[in-house]
Structure 1
Amino acid sequence: MPTPASQTRIQKENTARILEAALDVFSTLGYRGATLDRIARGAGLSKPNLLYYFPSKEAIHASLLAGLMTNWLDPLRRLDSDGDPIDEIVAYVLRKLEMSRLYPRESRLFANEILQGAPRIMDEIEGDLRALVEEKSALIAQWQAAGRLAPIEPRHLIFSIWATTQHYADFDVQVRGILRPQGDGHFDEAADFLTAFYRSALTPRG
């Protein structure tokens, strides 16, 4: 497999086509249901040609997950200790919701990996992701101790944000089946609801 730095323009284009096709296949069928033949067809390449770029299905999947984890952690990293606590958390909620709008396949790829027991990303979950959640939970706890947020357990608050935002990607068919929205208008409705919901939940009482 040629390294990214050594790839020609055509090789870079073919690599991108493979990853795009693989994202469709993995996010729909999961790791076990995906095959190199399906990915090659989706990319418009022969299987031998695909194997020139990636030696295995696992290598393609690993490449997708590596990029996904980087993007997935960024919205939480942006929680700013110098900002207003409620504004910062609501902004995080809206960033996560926007990711569900823009990257539904990536969200389902992640969900499929988790449902299988996270065999390929458990190191990242127990490493970088856990460390980041602990860091931002400590920040939320500081805000709470200063009376700037309601006393809600920080890690479960973060879990709830993941659940209420990623739902719109992972369960898109169910959401659309119930709401029957025109286009993506329901994301704007969800943004209004989640903003009001979290502002209410996070505002200190009394």
Structure 2
Amino acid sequence: MTLAWTLLALLVLPLIGVLAICLGAAPRKTALGVSLCNLIPGFLAFGVVLREGELLFGAEASMIREVFPVQFRLGMDGLSMALVGLTLVVTLAAMGVAPAEVKRAKEYYICLLLVGLGGLGAFLSLDLFYFFSFHEVALIPSFLLIGIWGQGDRTGAAWRMTLYLMLGSLVLLVGLMASEVCASRVQPAADVYEV
């Protein structure tokens, strides 16, 4: 049994939490509950990777492949296992140490869940397009978290962080596009392990 569904569950659970909060569920309890529940598929996936000693492949959406020339494929190996574990723990810790009363609690916890989702998606995606996309998903809520709920010069800090991350993203995008162009001359490859 490969438990490949666990990788998709790691991404779907935060989305369910965001949807539940948008529909009126208690923001703090929902976000904390989703973060705790997300540990279950995380530990199951870790167990498979550690037991098998190899890459755990997850969901592959063939319907997306019909429309776009990229593949939505998820996977976990030893390196991504450590990064996914760290993301799960940090997301749970962020939910746990958040003040009991926070202004705009609904938006705050949605942003925290989306930052965690972006990190998990980036570390689990096997396609470079989705790696970049999930990286960008985490950028916008990070800007909002710093700009709205930060301290001190939060507006300036949010803009500086966003500027640095966007410049880094631009360099990353140019590098990804260049590697795709070079690889397409031989054989098209946007897979993390093929590039």
* TM-score computed with the length of structure 2 as normaliser: 0.30
Higher alpha-carbon Rg: 1
Q: Is the strand fraction higher in 1 or 2? A: 2
Structure scoring higher RCO (CA < 8 A, sep ≥ 6) equals 1
